[in-house]
Each structure stands twice: as structure tokens, then as C-alpha cells.
């Protein structure tokens, strides 16, 4: 997954100073961004006023799109440092290739988890023969300082734990929820869970009071802590809850993201998460000269060129505007 903006703006994020200590309702407006040849995503994080949710630092929601007569997702090889990517689908298929030699088709409710660490490159595409509907989310997790130079890795988990109850089920994507743990490697206290609610479901989901949370609505209208949230929206919830009330009028689906507020201050630019502008500039130069990131074999097309660095210095500070 990539930020394909040809003029990406630097984003300063991290730090605990601006994390609300109690529950809030903060609706994050999406920004429509083209991704590859024929996919348009709704970018929900980072947003104008909110940069992170725990270690989650990037959220795109796309679809449901009819791609029966379209190429679907076509994201050329591009680099990452300092983060993990999470591929999550409700419909369709995405073929992942990376510079480690990984080749994996990710399908609905399967976890594709790539740890960039010090450096990796990958591509993502809809297979040549693909389902007609594409619908999913693309997510990044910032790596803490002690792990951001770790060896790159890719994991695929097709069988994830499920927490269920009357009228709902929750697939644990990453981290822990209500005693269930994802097999995906996590480097900070975190949770990602896909919740399916049946019509009329009225649920009180147990959550961690020290975590901050946000909910991305994938389909249907869900009442989250008393607030109705339309599909394709994201509601930031703050900290301080022990349970999260959820209610569905009609079948609905959402992705719950949470974690301990991320203490370190970061700078994000293009597809890099780092601590200084100098690190970003060095990663861009390495990608441009063909150093460090390796090659992605098998993608039909050239790698993505790096955009020009911004004129202003990149500086890590703060997590909200």
C-alpha cells in the first residue's frame, strides 16, 4: 500500500500531549485520493486534526467498487521504512509482491502483514482474473524506536481468532481483543478488529481504558457510543472507556482500531515513517539510486518514482494540528 500523491506533505505526529484523557466523539472527514490506475480511496488518517490512533498512523478505505471490467488495484513497486502495513479486505483479492521474494494473494478476512523495518519494497495489484467487487482498508502501524530498524518481513495469516456473541462477531486482525490474540507480529500494545453486526444488534464491547480508539465504518450505518456513523467515515473515540456500545440498524461492518497512545514523535512523508527529515531524505535518495530496498520481481511495470522533497525542513513534533 502506498501514498501515491506526487506532492506529499510532511506530517508530524506522535507524542502524548494532545491525546484526550477521556472519551470523545471526533468525526474524521475523509479525503478522496487516487491510488494507482483505477482505484480512488478515502483517506481518513492522517487527517487535518488527528494524526494517529495508538500506533496506527495511516488509514485508507476503498470501495466497494465494481472492477469487473477494470484492472482494479494497480500499485507499482514502492519503498517503506519504519512501519508495518496491514492489508484488509471485505471483498476482492490483492496480490502482494515484495523485495524479499514474497508472492501472496490476500483474500477477505485474511491478514497480509508486512514489516518494513529498515527497508523493503513491494507492489499490490488485483490479479488478472479477479472478483468483480473490491472493498477493503489499507493501514499503517508506526514501529517504535527499538524495532524500526528490524529486519523486513512478510506474514500471511488466513485463520484469525474470532470473538462472537448475540448479533455480532469480531475478527481480531492485530493485537488482542476480549482475550483473543491475533497471530500477527505486533511491536506495541495495539488492537485492530473487524466487527460484523447483524440487524438489531445491541453490543457492549469490552475495551481497554488506557487505549485510545477509533472506528472505521466499512458498510451499513452503525451507532457507535450513541452516535450514528455513515459508511466510509471514521469516528475518533479518545481514551477512558471500559466498554464500547454498538448498535446496528441493518447489517453493518466496521473496523475498530486502538492502542496505547504512541509516545514518540514522528515525521511521515510519502511512504516513510522516521524521526528526522535527514532520515527521510536518505531513504528517498536510496530508493532513487537503487540502494537498500531491493527489487520487486514480477510486476508488469516500472517502480514508482520518488516525489521531490518539500522545500521546508521536515521536523517531528506533535500528534494533532
The C-alpha cell 500500500 sits at 1
For residues 269, 75, 43, 309, the Cα torsion angle rounded to the nearest 10 degrees is: 20
- C-alpha 306/C-alpha 46 separation (Å) is 20
Q: What share of the chain is helix, strand, coil (3-state, %, to 5)?
A: 5, 50, 45
Q: Is 124 annotated as a binding residue?
A: yes
The burial of 13, by beta-carbon neighbours within 10 Å (0-12 exposed, 13-18 middle, 19 or more buried), is given as buried
The C-alpha cell 510519502 sits at 270
Q: Is 130 annotated as a binding residue?
A: no
CB neighbour burial string for 43-75, b if at least 16 within 10 angstroms, e if fewer: bbbbbeebbbbbbbbbbbbbbbbebeebebbbb
Q: From the annotation, which residues make up the binding site? A: 78, 80, 122, 124
Q: From the annotation, which residues make up the binding site for Fe cation? A: 78, 80, 122, 124
Amino acid at each position: 500500500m502506498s501514498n501515491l500523491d506526487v506532492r506529499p506533505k510532511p506530517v508530524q505526529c506522535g507524542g502524548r500531549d494532545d491525546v484526550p484523557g477521556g472519551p470523545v466523539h471526533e468525526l474524521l472527514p475523509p479525503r478522496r485520493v487516487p491510488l494507482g490506475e483505477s482505484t480512488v480511496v478515502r483517506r481518513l488518517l492522517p487527517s487535518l486534526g488527528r494524526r494517529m490512533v495508538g500506533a496506527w498512523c495511516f488509514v485508507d478505505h476503498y470501495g466497494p467498487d465494481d472492477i469487473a471490467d477494470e484492472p482494479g488495484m494497480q500499485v507499482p513497486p514502492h519503498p517503506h521504512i519504519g512501519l508495518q502495513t496491514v492489508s484488509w479486505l471485505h471483498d476482492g483479492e490483492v496480490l502482494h509482491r515484495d523485495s524479499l521474494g514474497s508472492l501472496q494473494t490476500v483474500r477477505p478476512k485474511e491478514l497480509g502483514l508486512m514489516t518494513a523495518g529498515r527497508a523493503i519494497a513491494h507492489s499490490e495489484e488485483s490479479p488478472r482474473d479477479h472478483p468483480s467487487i473490491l472493498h477493503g482498508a489499507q493501514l499503517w502501524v508506526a514501529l517504535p524506536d527499538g524495532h524500526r530498524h528490524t529486519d523486513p518481513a512478510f506474514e500471511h495469516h488466513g485463520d484469525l481468532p474470532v470473538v462472537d456473541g448475540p448479533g455480532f462477531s469480531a475478527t481480531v486482525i492485530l493485537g488482542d481483543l476480549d482475550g483473543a490474540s491475533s497471530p500477527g507480529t505486533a511491536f506495541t500494545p495495539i488492537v485492530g478488529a473487524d466487527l460484523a453486526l447483524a440487524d438489531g444488534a445491541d453490543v457492549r464491547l469490552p475495551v481497554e481504558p488506557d487505549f485510545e480508539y477509533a472506528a472505521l465504518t466499512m458498510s451499513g450505518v452503525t451507532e457507535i457510543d450513541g452516535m450514528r456513523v455513515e459508511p466510509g467515515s471514521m469516528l475518533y473515540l479518545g481514551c477512558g472507556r471500559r466498554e464500547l456500545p454498538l448498535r446496528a440498524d441493518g447489517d453493518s461492518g466496521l473496523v475498530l482500531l486502538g492502542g496505547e497512545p504512541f509516545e514518540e514523535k514522528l515525521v511521515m512523508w510519502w511512504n516513510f515513517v522516521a524521526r528526522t527529515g535527514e532520515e527521510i531524505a536518505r531513504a528517498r535518495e536510496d530508493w532513487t539510486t537503487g540502494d537498500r530496498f531491493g527489487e520487486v520481481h514480477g510486476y508488469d511495470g516500472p517502480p514508482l518514482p520518488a516525489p521531490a522533497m518539500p522545500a521546508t525542513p521536515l521536523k517531528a513534533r506533535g500528534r494533532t494540528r
